[in-house]
Amino acid sequence: MSPNADDPQIGSLDVDSEALLGTGESFVSLLAQLGVEFEDGSRGDVPADGWRVLRRQDSGGVVIGAPEGASAANWRVAQIGVDQFGAPAPPVSVYPESLPVRRSRVERARGLVLRWAPLSQDEAANGVFVIDIVNTGEARWRPDGDPFLVIGTIKGPGIADTGTSFGYFGGQNPAVPLDPGEYARVHVSIDESQWRPLQPGRYELHAMLAMLPVVTTTPLPLELTQEQIEQHRTRFHSRARTPAEEVEDLRQNHRHQKALVESAGVLEEIARLVTNTATVDEAAAAVELLLHADAEAATAVVHTPLMQFTTDAIRRTRDNVLRIERRLAARESEKVEDLRTTED
């Protein structure tokens, strides 16, 4: 979970609360202060005034925005990348649609707790992982665009949960209103990669809501047998993959994730390309040329929901790219070591 969970959001972007106040200034003036120019000659429906810096990112990038209408309930947002020295630089990527102002994730989560039901232990023994999302507040809890998607992490006994990465796609597990005391029982999603290194024994299942700062206070004890572990492994793969296949999967995932990061800086151009094509194949081909990516990565970009291009989502994707690169480097080192052992 992002450390900015107390900050309000515009769409899924964390913003400084004070930045939402005041009148702002013109789009041209703010860009001039930041030392960048809007390279696209036509600004279309981009508001002329009311722009201000919403957040300065650790990378050096800047998120700016302006309210649409007097109520300021919806905002237009633009993201400015950085040059090789970490200073703001073109392109200026304007989001193609307005985004609503939302309460902070802490406020949106108020009243919700994750609670293991009595049957959770029994069903876990059968390989089914469920948990209750309970409204412990005094008023009806209403969803505000956050899904009831619960992510599980399997840990050894007594090992604290430090969080886990996950892929999220819009439309999964939509949330429902809950009156005080009501609950929604949902499936706990456990990434397939967690099952690969497990050996029979005792474990604990930690859980968290994917988009809100709600976590289990106590883990669910698990006693995993070899049969249960194999069942989950084979559920995702009909046969064991060879080391070469695993490396190729890592490389393909690296290409996909890297293409998403590169797309964030040219999102407006991608939107224009896609809207000017007749089919998904034509759109993917156009994105492939723009990003110099392979066909599969370009197709993945075309099918990616806009939520995956938020500041936080791209930051997580960039972190995933680095993790995959480290794993590939480790695999390469293992390969070299195996060759040396064989030669000896």
DSSP-derived secondary structure for 131-181: EEEEE-SSS-B--SS----EEEEEE-TTPPP--------TTSS----B-TT
Average confidence (pLDDT) over 252-280: 83
Q: Where is 27: in which H helix or E strand? A: helix 27-34
pLDDT tens digit sequence for 286-323: 888 888 788 888 888 888 877 778 877 887 888 788 88
Structure token digits, residue 148? 């009831």
- Here the tokens at position 85 are 């020295």
Residue 112, phi then psi, degrees to nearest 5: -85, 140
> Exposed (0-12), middle (13-18) or buried (19+): which is 242, by Cβ within 10 Å?
exposed
Q: Are 93 and 267 in contact (CB under 8 A)?
A: yes
Query: Residue 241 carries which DSSP code?
Result: P
- Alpha carbon distances (Å) from 23 to 45, 58, 65, 130, 166: 19, 26, 11, 48, 38
Identify whether the C-beta of residue 49 lies closer than 8 Å to the C-beta of residue 66: yes
What distance in Å separates the CA atoms of residue 275 and residue 238, rounded to the nearest whole number? Answer: 38
Amino acid 183: pLDDT: 96
Mean pLDDT for the stretch of residues 118-140:
92
Q: How far apart are CA 109 and CA 100, in angstroms?
A: 18
Give the SS3 label for residue 326: helix
CA distance 134 to 103: 20
Residue 48 pLDDT exceeds 70: yes
Confidence of residue 150 (pLDDT cuts 50, 70, 90): very high
